Structure 1
Amino acid sequence: MAGMESEQYATEDVVELDQGNGTAAIVHLHGATVVSWKLRGEEILFCSKKAIFDNKKAIRGGIPIVFPQFGPWSLGPQHGFARIRKWKLVSTPMQDSRGNITAVFSLEDDKRTRELWDKKFKLVYTVSLWDKSLELNLKVLNRDESSFEYTTLMHTYFTTPDVTKTSVIGLKDLHFIDKVQDGAILTENRSEVIVNENYDRVYQNAPNEIVVNKVGNGEQKVIIKKTNFPDVGNGVEPMGRESSRDGRF
């Protein structure tokens, strides 16, 4: 799976964080979607060759932000509106004394969002690129007169040369919702989950550290460290690198 090519989108629509030595990240203002993260020249994220950068549709791949609803939504588009709205660049990429490069983005309610979801809010998204890691921080600020409920997640797509050899460690003994089996709630009994079949699962109350093996060029692993994101989801069809149940990819 190749990384993002700059000619796929207008340069004025993206923000690049560059550490040098082939380590860089690209954030598209449409959805504040991280569309590329390269580590020493190797792309870690998957973005479909069929991705459409028209600033209207959700970008197919990378790290889309889901808010205020995960999954089907009776009030609006699936996975909410955050991934299909243009975000504002609040702080341009800057390097601090620790060596990481950080950019800050924001999204606030407006007439269009209130037509769908009548709440006043502000999202602040901080993207920090380190020498060997990518740190993402999302703050949800309630500006409404009353409390509101929401779901949010970072819907990450990792690239891999062979998804059937990719595995996830850290899910043993967790309950999960299996959407392939009509939402059945099951328990994971494997210490290492190998992605060798059609998966669409949400693992509940997952530990704050999860390991994903054989991503990027197939020789790398990603250690996911999370805070205040209780669940972990994985969805994949191992038929091929460009396959999808609805044919989009």
Structure 2
Amino acid sequence: MPVNTADPRFVQLSFANSSVTIFYFGATVTSWTVDGHERLFLSSKALLDSSKAIRGGIPLVFPHFGSVSYSKLPQHGFARNSTWKFLGAVKDSSDEVVVQFELRPELVPEHLRALWQHDFRLVYTVRLADRTLTTSLRAENPGSESFLFTSLLHTYLRIANVDDVAVRGFENRQYLDKVTPGTFTETRSEAKIAMEVDRVYQQVDGEVLVENTHIGDVRIHKTNFPDVVLWNPWIEKAQAMADFGDEEYKNMVCVEVGSVSTPIVLEAGQSWEGQQILVV
């Protein structure tokens, strides 16, 4: 069965030798297996009871990344903390299986909705094909006033060992460093991780390649997402997170495509869409 809705918490997709699990809470993709190998990281301490954003997989960030001065919403907004409506399968063919989820204001928890009262509609499309996972987020403004937003796909990739991972595609790009505050230019052809890393690389063109020894490389293609966040909490921050194992920083890296450096102005009646394609 290519689309399985037997569990009330999530939808499972199957195609060829691949499978995907998507929770209704946050429309969060929590698993992507290819040839029996898991390619996404999900913390062993992640809460899957809808009480908190899921720590791992691909959480959705909307209407803003981090915390911003123009919004009272908590970090990363409300999309990852809302239960989305499953719209069903929109395609089931020999090439791919495609499903969609929807989020409207009435589905956002009341205490969060009160902090951001714009009218909106989000549609999240998940496409599973042979060795490829495509996730697309569309934002629509059906209201009468414009609103500002930023958005990001907070992708956690599973890795065998952080010492063996390199990320390519950032050379000569400016980045905002949140660990050592400031804006710098990446001079390396490959970004390695040997300490806490929290960087927003700006105007990243072309493919981002995550060289993942032992598990296998991941190629990331993106559309309408000019920025890429590279994040690993390292030792102290890993220990400070209740929903993250103390040693799990060794087995994950976040490579997050988004549009976060400059807020998008979505005028009344307009829409915007960003897409990520993961290929192994």
Give the TM-score normalised by structure 1.
0.88
Q: Is the 8 A contact 2:160 2:215 kept in 1?
A: no
CA RMSD for the aligned pairs?
A: 1.9
Partner of 1:196: 194
Alignment partner of 1:75 is 2:72:
yes
Correspondent of 2:99 among 96, 103, 108: 103
Q: Deviations over 1:157-215 (max 9, x none)?
A: 0011101211111100011011001x310110011111222211000111131111106
Q: Identify which range, 110-119 or 204-213, moves more after superposition.
A: 110-119
Q: Tell me how far apart the structure 2 counterparts of residues 186 and 138 of structure 1 sit (CA, whole Å).
A: 29
User: What one-letter code is carried by the residue in structure 1 that aligns with 2:199?
Assistant: R
3-state DSSP class of the match of 1:123?
strand
Three-state SS of the structure 2 residue aligned to 1:12 is: coil
Relative distance call for 1:34 and 1:13 in structure 2 (3 A) is same
Q: Secondary structure at the match of 1:220?
A: coil
What is the alpha-carbon distance in structure 1 between the residues aligned to residue 96 and residue 89 of structure 2?
Answer: 13
Equivalences for 1:35-50 in 2 at 5 Å?
A: 35-50=30-45
Alignment match, 1:56:
51
Which among 216, 226, 230 is matched to residue 226 of structure 2? 230
1:244 and 2:242 matched: no
1:7 equivalent in structure 2: none
What are the superposed Cα offsets for residues 71-96 of structure 1, whole Å, 9 maximum, x if unpaired? 02441221000000000100237422
Aligned counterparts of 1:72 and 1:200: Cα–Cα separation in 2 = 15
Query: What one-letter code is carried by the residue in structure 2 that aligns with 1:106?
Result: E
Question: Is the CA contact 1:16–1:93 (under 8 Å) kept in the aligned structure 2?
Answer: no
Q: Is the 2:26–2:83 Cα contact (8 Å) retained in structure 1?
A: yes
Runs of 4+ in structure 1 deviating by more than 2 angstroms, as ranges, are 110-114, 237-240, 245-248
> Which runs of 5 or more residues in structure 2 are unaligned?
1-5, 245-280
Instruction: Determine the C-alpha separation between the residues in 2 that align with 1:174 and 1:187.
Output: 6
Contact 1:168–1:213 under 8 Å retained in 2: yes
Question: What SS does the aligned partner of 2:230 have?
Answer: strand
Aligned to 1:115: 114
Deviation at 1:246, TM superposition (A): 2.6
For 2:131, the equivalent position in structure 1 comes to 132
Aligned CA distance change for structure 1 residues 30 and 120 (closer, same or farther; 3 Å) = same
Rounded Cα–Cα distance in structure 2 between residues aligned with 1:69 and 1:237: 20
> Which letter does structure 1 place at the counterpart of 2:200?
V
Identity %: 40
Aligned equivalents of 1:239 and 1:220: distance in 2? Answer: 25
Secondary structure of 1:244's match? Answer: helix
CA contact (8 A) 1:94 1:103 kept: yes
Deviation string, structure 1 residues 26-52 (Cα, Å, up to 9, x no partner) = 000000000000011100000001011
Cα distance in 2, alignment partners of residues 238 and 38 from structure 1: 25
Give the structure with the larger strand fraction.
Answer: 2
Q: SS at 2:198's partner residue?
A: strand
CA positional deviation for 1:237: 3.8
Q: What secondary structure sits across from 1:180 in the alignment?
A: coil
How big is the shift at 1:20?
3.9
Question: Which protein, 1 or 2, shows the higher relative CO under an 8 Å CA cutoff with sep ≥ 6?
Answer: 2
- SS of the residue aligned with 2:183? strand
Aligned to 1:152: 151
Is the 1:237–1:245 contact (alpha carbons within 8 Å) kept by the matching residues of 2? no
Calculate the TM-score normalised by the size of structure 2. 0.79
> Offset at 1:145?
0.7
Q: Quick one: distance in 1 between partners of 2:67 and 2:99?
A: 31
Between the aligned partners of 1:76 and 1:245, the Cα distance in structure 2 is 25
Structure 2 residue 11 is matched with structure 1 residue 15: yes
Contact 1:120 1:142 in 2 (8 A): yes
Residue number in structure 2 paired with 1:88 = 85
2: CA distance, partners of 1:106 / 1:41: 29
Q: Kindly provide the CA deviation profile for residues 83-141 of structure 1, in whole angstroms up to 9, marking residues without a partner as x.
A: 000001002374224x2011100101127254110100000000000111100111000
